[in-house]
A and B are shown apart, each in its own frame.
Chain A
Amino acid sequence: METQELLDRIAINVVQGRVEAEDEGFDEGFENQPAVIELVEEALENGISPSDILIKGLTSSMTVVGEKFETGEYLIPDMLASAEAVGAGMDILTPHLLKAGIESKGKFVIATVSGDLHDIGKNIVAIMLKGAGYEVVDLGVDVPASRIIETVKKHNAPYLGLSALLTTTMRNMDEVIDGLKEAGLRNQTKVCIGGAPTSQDFADQIGADKHCNDAFAVLDWLKAAA
């Protein structure tokens, strides 16, 4: 397959939200055809540069996905499927990009705080961030403040996202931010929080940088912060 055709097919499959060959697309007729994983591997084998695959195949097509979402043609699951496809492509590309000296948009540590097992919103944010080119370090749920702080320190992460769904556990975000301050990391790490009971008032109260209602708000915030 020619380089341009291969990149176009990667882009189409991102728009279709297809990670691997067995996935259905948004439109009919894609089943069992190579999807993002197979096509990215083929592109690397064909010697296409990782940065071309990244920019011309994976990330540029997310603009199309965003437009389709804006017009109502796509729903959240379609958007997430596309972001997931980009993320799967990024997993394959990352070592090649690093070799070529190309950095990700930045490391983003994300966690649901101690005492809380809810993670749907947090997972959606993680998928979207990965799809947007961030390196996501997802610590999962019920994560103690000490572990979050250690991870931020270890990765020298510029971004941290904290999630909580309970009024009883949202207070534990406070402990994380205090811990960052004590560890001398607060100035180098921007913190956003989210989850149903949280608000911008609460973010201000505990000293977080931003409250985000959803994954789109996180991306907007990152864009503004960049």
Chain B
Amino acid sequence: MNDFRNGTIVKPHERLNQEQINRLHSTSMAILADPGIWCYNQRAADLFKQHGATVWQEETPASPCWRVQFPPELITDSLKKAPSRIILGARDPANRLEIDAEVPRVYFGSGSETNIWLETEMEEHISRSDDSVIRKLPVFTKKRGSAELLCRAAHLCEQLEHLDFFIRPVNIQDPDVNEANHDVNKFFASLNNITKHVQAGLTKLESLKDVIKMAEIIAGGPDRLRENPLISFIACVFKSPLQLVDDTADKVFDIVEKTGLPVVISSSPQGGSSAPIQETGMVAQINAEILTGITLTQLIRPGTPVLYGSVAVRARLDDLHDLYGCPEFNQYNNDCAQLARYYKLPCYSSSGVSNAQTPGMQATFEKLYTHLYMAMSGAQYIHYSFGLLDRTNTFCPVQAVLDNEHIGLIKHCLRSPVIDQETAGEAVAMIKKVMTTSHRLFTRHTRKPVRAGIVSQPYRFETKTMHDTVIEKGLEYMAELEARPVRHLDADTVNEIYNKIPGLLPRLKQSC
């Protein structure tokens, strides 16, 4: 299995110079040395202590809490044990991802567990001043996330050619889904409808063995799953600022000890509330949090495949909600991508979230602003990139279709230049030839590069009239994509999963 999805190898935009990177690193180390972290998980505290951290139990908090202060060597030595190159598997091996910290190969994927699915339909509206003027306008309906909608999202994301991996964009909130069967149903609904890499957090620690069993059945056995890890996990192990969460730390222990599968150690502090809003403070803090989580994984089991998960956001100051599509978002997250590269760790990053509640001009601006900039950062694994609106509260499928088009053009834009002796020779020959013609037009010479995909296509949803029809065209294209056959698991595999894994919803089986 040597095939992977074609990521886009970019020349990273380096916002920070080496001195600034060193400064941020040493600031993170200073934070971890004093004040250190507030660790709510005893096993983690013990493990840190066993490896040289200064640990003591706090007297005051209601929940047991250990203060942990780290010598820098404990962190830096642990980081060296984490692999730089990770393979993320997929049901279809051609959809596997090669993530290498030393290669700025960019992949884009979805995310992340919204509660609202925003359906879009076009409706005709008649002008009050001139009833001969009829316009089709989008009308939006909010739906509560469900297992059925998750299946639909996975199928749509399978069809989006520029979506490289799948993190479920909508939560399942069906009445018959509870904490005990949430994980198996969300993984099954995803894996049964998409052949790309599937990644998710774990709702309930006790579900881990069933989720792994399901993945092993699909992969063809335990060994095959480790060769082709078609699922991986996200663990947001820190509650910012600097508090290591008990429940998530337990999940990290189990994922690392029992599965050997890749895991994202993510942190998402909010500049202005749970972290400083200033760049130095925000980036140094999130870096300290992520490095501590990665250290934990490497102390549990050296060599654990892990991604440096940076989701640095800032607060808007009128209501303290997250503010996306703003300069600070790009600055924080570009810095993190540079730090991950400095540590030779693959970077899980974010782009494409909009504050807008519906698709439109604001959403397009905010999304493109971060899609392009974060792709230029060279972060290898960029999530949140498809369909997210209203911060991260809403998934809108037609927006995902529009984002797919943006991301395709961005990938094209950031392709490496091909300027060499061969192309130079071709250029001179072409110019000489065209200058011998009466018309002096190069159109004939565009034909081959257009057909080879070297020349980009115009915006798929462009409007050629005075009335904006982008969303209408996006919906038409989405209908085409959704009408394509679903790439389900085969019936034997589904039967085996249903026989061996408890808690799966019967209707998910019937729909395959």
- Please report which residues of chain A, range 32-49, place their CB below 8 angstroms from some CB of chain B when the two chains form the complex: none
A and B contact pairs by CB, cutoff 8 A, 7 listed: A26-B451, A78-B447, A80-B441, A123-B439, A124-B439, A124-B443, A127-B439
Assembled-state Cα–Cα distance A17/B450 (Å): 15
Q: How far is the CB of A60 from chain B (nearest CB, A)?
A: 22
The residues of A that contact B438 with a CB separation of less than 8 Å are: 123, 126, 138
* Sample of 10 more A-B contacts, CB < 8 Å, known A78-B447, A84-B439, A124-B439: A26-B451, A75-B450, A76-B443, A77-B450, A81-B444, A84-B444, A120-B441, A123-B439, A123-B440, A124-B443
Is A142 in contact with chain B by the CB < 8 A criterion?
no
Main secondary structure of the interface of A (DSSP, over half): helix
Question: Is B444 touching A23 in the complex (CB atoms < 8 A)?
Answer: yes
Is A178 in contact with chain B by the CB < 8 A criterion?
no
Residue from B439, B440, B441, B444 within 8 A of A17 (CB atoms): B444
Of B443, B446, B450, B451, chain A has the most CB atoms within 10 Å of the CB of B443
Assembled-state Cα–Cα distance A26/B448 (Å): 8
Is A116 in contact with chain B by the CB < 8 A criterion?
no
Question: Is B440 touching A80 in the complex (CB atoms < 8 A)?
Answer: no
Is A24 in contact with chain B by the CB < 8 A criterion?
yes
The residues of A that contact B439 with a CB separation of less than 8 Å are: 84, 123-124, 126-127
Assembled-state Cα–Cα distance A86/B448 (Å): 20
Q: How many residues of B contact A (CB 8 A)?
A: 11
Assembled-state Cα–Cα distance A124/B437 (Å): 12
Closest CB pairs A-B (n = 4)? A123-B439, A77-B443, A77-B446, A81-B444
Residue from B440, B447, B451 within 8 A of A81 (CB atoms): B447
Q: How far is the CB of A189 from chain B (nearest CB, A)?
A: 22
Residue from B444, B448, B450, B451 within 8 A of A80 (CB atoms): B444
Q: How far is the CB of A47 from chain B (nearest CB, A)?
A: 30
- Please report which residues of chain B, range 414-447, place their CB below 8 angstroms from some CB of chain A when the two chains form the complex: 438-441, 443-444, 446-447
Residue from A26, A119, A126 within 8 A of B447 (CB atoms): A26
- Please report which residues of chain A, range 150-183, place their CB below 8 angstroms from some CB of chain B when the two chains form the complex: none
The residues of A that contact B450 with a CB separation of less than 8 Å are: 75, 77
Question: Is A124 touching B441 in the complex (CB atoms < 8 A)?
Answer: yes
Main secondary structure of the interface of B (DSSP, over half): helix
The residues of A that contact B444 with a CB separation of less than 8 Å are: 17, 23, 77, 80-81, 84
The residues of B that contact A23 with a CB separation of less than 8 Å are: 444
Residue from A26, A80, A138 within 8 A of B443 (CB atoms): A80
- Please report which residues of chain A, range 49-75, place their CB below 8 angstroms from some CB of chain B when the two chains form the complex: 75
The residues of B that contact A17 with a CB separation of less than 8 Å are: 444, 447
Chain A interface size range: 10 to 19
- Please report which residues of chain A, range 69-97, place their CB below 8 angstroms from some CB of chain B when the two chains form the complex: 75-78, 80-81, 84
Chain A residues at the B interface, C-beta cutoff of 8 Å: 17, 23-24, 26, 75-78, 80-81, 84, 119-120, 123-124, 126-127, 138
The residues of A that contact B441 with a CB separation of less than 8 Å are: 80, 120, 123-124, 127
Assembled-state Cα–Cα distance A123/B447 (Å): 18
The residues of B that contact A75 with a CB separation of less than 8 Å are: 447, 450
Question: Is B440 touching A77 in the complex (CB atoms < 8 A)?
Answer: no
- Please report which residues of chain B, range 282-327, place their CB below 8 angstroms from some CB of chain A when the two chains form the complex: none
The residues of B that contact A84 with a CB separation of less than 8 Å are: 439, 444
Assembled-state Cα–Cα distance A119/B450 (Å): 23
Assembled-state Cα–Cα distance A75/B444 (Å): 11
Assembled-state Cα–Cα distance A126/B441 (Å): 12
Shortest Cβ distance from B437 into A: residue: A84
Assembled-state Cα–Cα distance A124/B451 (Å): 21
The residues of A that contact B440 with a CB separation of less than 8 Å are: 119, 123
Assembled-state Cα–Cα distance A124/B446 (Å): 15
Chain B 443-466 near chain A by CB (<8 Å), digits 1 or 0: 110111011000000000000000
Q: How far is the CB of A59 from chain B (nearest CB, A)?
A: 20
Assembled-state Cα–Cα distance A192/B443 (Å): 24
Assembled-state Cα–Cα distance A123/B437 (Å): 11
Of B438, B444, B446, B450, chain A has the most CB atoms within 10 Å of the CB of B444
Shortest Cβ distance from B438 into A: residue: A138
The residues of B that contact A26 with a CB separation of less than 8 Å are: 447, 451
The residues of B that contact A24 with a CB separation of less than 8 Å are: 447-448
Assembled-state Cα–Cα distance A77/B447 (Å): 6
Of B439, B441, B451, chain A has the most CB atoms within 10 Å of the CB of B439
The residues of B that contact A127 with a CB separation of less than 8 Å are: 439, 441
Question: Is B443 touching A81 in the complex (CB atoms < 8 A)?
Answer: yes
Q: How far is the CB of A217 from chain B (nearest CB, A)?
A: 16
Shortest Cβ distance from A24 into B: residue: B448
Assembled-state Cα–Cα distance A77/B441 (Å): 10
- Please report which residues of chain B, range 341-385, place their CB below 8 angstroms from some CB of chain A when the two chains form the complex: none
Of A75, A76, A77, A123, chain B has the most CB atoms within 10 Å of the CB of A77
The residues of A that contact B446 with a CB separation of less than 8 Å are: 77
The residues of A that contact B448 with a CB separation of less than 8 Å are: 24
Shortest Cβ distance from B439 into A: residue: A123
Shortest Cβ distance from B445 into A: residue: A77
The residues of B that contact A119 with a CB separation of less than 8 Å are: 440
